[in-house]
Amino acid sequence: MIDAALEALRQGRVILLYDFDDRERETDFAIRADAVRPEHILQMRKDGGGLICTAIHPRSAQELGLPFATDMLRCYNGISGMVGEVPYDRKNRSSFSLWVNHRDTFTGITDRDRALTINAIAEQVKASMNGGGTDFASQFRSPGHVAILRADEQLLTRRRGQTELSVAMAMLAGITPAITICELLDDVSGLALSKPDAQAYARRKGLVFVEGSDVLRTWEESAVRTQ
């Protein structure tokens, strides 16, 4: 399934990405950020229901000057104590960075506004990865309605969340390493949609379902991980 998932990403199609049984045990929608359209935001908020975020490569985050949210919070004495461990990943910090809206949006929350913001993030990531000039602050305002996730500097070597899995898949697929993701939640239980139910959804919708273990194995076998 990994080859089919990588090809779907190249073609700008949505896939389903499950992490690990011993981690979040969650399935996310995933699509390359430069291919996101308003209808994809609609699908994510209606069929997924989780948080719509865009995961980016750590080198790009550094070039664009995008910090980890935890680092910013530690600068403020009154709330620095709020920075704590992630229950499902106590060895690593949260991947959240800034929340942004593109300056051409109105409220920032509509399907069209979020798609515009996400596409613009992808443009900035592409430029930063290719040595081009970037000016993130001139393009965006914060706080906004699109969460940017900054992948760990060592990607899947140290942290194996949806952020790192999706960025690693982008690298393997040879596309801009900016992937928009959103968790699938269960309307009945209020919990994350179970893996069997997510697989059933994938079959109904004709989507590729891929597991983190397959991504990790392919990543560890690939020369891309050394770049």
- 206 dihedral zone (left: phi>0; alpha: psi -120 to 50; beta): left
Q: How many CA atoms lie within 13 A of 107 on its CB side?
A: 4
Mean pLDDT of 41-45: 98
63, 152, 183, 211: the catalytic one is: 183
26, 53, 57, 152: the catalytic one is: 53
Distance CA 84, CA 150 (A): 17
pLDDT of 80 higher than 70? no
Better pLDDT: 49 or 24: 49
- Confidence band for 78, pLDDT divided at 50, 70 and 90: low
pLDDT of 187 higher than 70? yes
**For the whole model, what pTM was predicted?**
0.91
103-109, long-range: CB < 8 A, 24+ apart:
103/138, 103/139, 103/140, 103/141, 105/144, 107/145, 108/144, 108/145, 108/146, 109/145
Q: Where does 2-219 sit in CATH, by number?
A: 3.90.870.10
**pLDDT at residue 77 in the model:** 61
Other C-beta atoms lying within 10 Å of the C-beta of residue 120: 22
pLDDT per residue as tens digits for the range 128-185? 998 876 789 999 999 999 999 999 888 878 888 899 999 999 999 999 999 999 999 9
Mean pLDDT for the chain overall:
90
Does the annotation mark 85 as catalytic?
no
145, 197, 201, 214: the catalytic one is: 145
**pLDDT at residue 81 in the model:** 60
- Confidence band for 45, pLDDT divided at 50, 70 and 90: very high
- Confidence band for 83, pLDDT divided at 50, 70 and 90: low
Does the annotation mark 164 as catalytic?
no
**pLDDT at residue 70 in the model:** 77
**pLDDT at residue 86 in the model:** 64
Rg for the chain (alpha carbons), in Å? 17
Does the annotation mark 75 as catalytic?
no
Strands annotated E in the chain? 15-18, 27-32, 53-56, 96-102, 140-150, 178-183, 209-211
- Confidence band for 225, pLDDT divided at 50, 70 and 90: low
Mean pLDDT of 50-63: 96
Structural domain boundaries of the chain? Answer: 2-219
Does the annotation mark 152 as catalytic?
no
Does the annotation mark 101 as catalytic?
yes
